[in-house]
Structure 1
Amino acid sequence: MAAEDRAKAASPGIARPARSRLDQPKAPRRRLLPEYDPDAFGRFSERIARFLGTGRFIVWMTLIIILWVLWNIVAPHGLRFDEYPFIFLTLALSLQASYAAPLILLAQNRQDDRDRVTHEQDRKQDERSIADTEYLTREIAALRMGLGEVATRDWIRSELEAVIRDLEERRVLLPAESDEADR
C-alpha cells in the first residue's frame, strides 16, 4: 500500500490503473463465441464421417430421395410440399453436403495427426531395434573372437585321436621293445 501512495505522490497529475497481482489468476474474459471441447467435436465429426462413408448411408439417402420425389409427384396436390423443380430437396442436399465436407476434412485431419504420431513412434522403435541389433552383432563378434582362442570339444577330440594314433604307430614300429618290456 505504501508503494502506491509513493507512486501517487511522485506523479500527482497522472492516474495509473491498478496493477493486477501476479500470484492470482486473471478473471476469465467473456467470449462472444460459445466454448466447445475440440476432442469431443472431433470424435463427433469422425462418427459422422464414418457413417457418411458407408453403404448404409447411401442406401438410406437414396430411399429418402426416391420417397421425396415420388411423394411430390404422386401425392394429391394439396399434400405436396416440394413441387417439380424440387427446390427444397436441392436445398436440403446442399445443406447436407456443406456440413458433410468440412466434417469429413476434420476427421481426415485427426486421422493424419494420429498417423503422424504412430509413424513417429514406429520410427523411434525402429531406431531402438537397429541399436539393439548392432549391439548384439558386436557381442556375437566378440564371442566368436573369444571362441577362436578356446579349445572346443571337437579340437580336443581330434588332438586325443592324434595322440592315440601316434601311440599306436610307436607300438607297431617298436614291437620288439614292447615284447621285452612285457617279459
Structure 2
Amino acid sequence: MAAEREGNRERHPVGATAAGRPRGGRLDQPRALRRRLLPEWDPDAFGRLSERIARFLGTGRFIVWMTVVIIVWVVWNIAAPRQLRFDEYPFIFLTLALSLQASYAAPLILLAQNRQDDRDRVNLEQDRKQNERSIADTEYLTREIAALRMGLGEVATRDWIRSELQDVIKELEERQNGHRTHAVFPADHPRGRDMDDR
C-alpha cells in the first residue's frame, strides 16, 4: 500500500493537476512580463491632455481661429492661381479635415467629461462623509448640552442661594424680635424664660 502511494506521488507531483500539467505559476514569484502589441500609455497623462484639448475646444478663441482658418482656406482655393490651389471646390480636403477634427473632438470631450464625473463623484462622497461627521458632532454636542442642563438643574444658582439667605435672615430677625419681646415683658411668660435658658 505504501509503495503504491509512492508510485502515485511520482506520477502526479505536488502542484500538478489531473491533466498532468502544473497549475499556474508560483504565487511567491512575479510573473514574467508579456510583450504587448499595442503601445503603452499613462491613462492619467492622456486624460489630462484630453481635458486640456476639451477645454480649448470649448473656448471662443478656438472658434475664432477655426473660422479664420476656414475662411483663409476657402479664399485661397478660390482666388489663388490654379497651380497654387491645393483643395479646389467642393473642398473635399477641408471636409475631410473637419470630419477628422470632429471625430477626435467628440471622444476627447467625452473622456474629459468622464474624468470630471469621477472627480465630482469623489467630491460628493467626501461631502457626504463630512456631512455625516458634522451630524454626528452636532448630535454629540446636543447630548452634552442636555446633560449639562440636567446637571445644572440640581446645582444651586445665585438667585436660589440669595432667596434662601433672605429667608434665613428673616427667620433670624424674627427670633431676635421674639427675644426682645420676652426681655421687655418677662411677666407674660414666667416659665418660658427658664425653659429657654435650659
Query: Which residue of the other structure, out of 59, 80, 85, is the alignment partner of 1:75?
Result: 80
User: Quick check: 91-100 or 26-35, which moved more?
Assistant: 26-35
Shift of 1:162: 4.8
Which residue of the partner structure matches residue 47 of structure 1? Answer: 52
Question: Over residues 28-55 of structure 1, what are the superposed CA-to-partner deviations in whole Å (9 max), with x where a residue is unaligned?
Answer: 1221211111111111111111111111
Task: Output the CA distance in 1 between the equivalents of 2:183 and 2:103.
Answer: 114
Work out the percentage of aligned pairs sharing the same amino acid.
78
Query: Which residue of the other structure, out of 133, 137, 141, is the alignment partner of 1:136?
Result: 141
Which residue of the partner structure matches residue 126 of structure 1? Answer: 131
Which residue of the partner structure matches residue 36 of structure 2? Answer: 31
Which entry has the higher C-alpha Rg, 1 or 2?
2
Which residue of the partner structure matches residue 149 of structure 1? Answer: 154
- The structure with higher relative contact order (CA 8 Å, sep 6+) is 1
Residues 166 and 67 (structure 1), Cα distance of their counterparts in 2 relative to 1, 3 Å cut: farther
Q: What does 1:1-183 correspond to in 2, within 5 Å?
A: 6-7=10-11, 22=26, 23-164=28-169, 170=174, 177=181
Give the gaps of 5 or more residues in structure 1. Answer: 9-14
Shift of 1:81: 1.0
Shift of 1:80: 1.2
Residues 161 and 21 (structure 1), Cα distance of their counterparts in 2 relative to 1, 3 Å cut: same
Task: Output the CA distance in 1 between the equivalents of 2:140 and 2:163.
Answer: 34
Shift of 1:6: 3.4
RMSD between superposed Cα atoms in Å: 3.0
Number of aligned positions between the proteins: 170
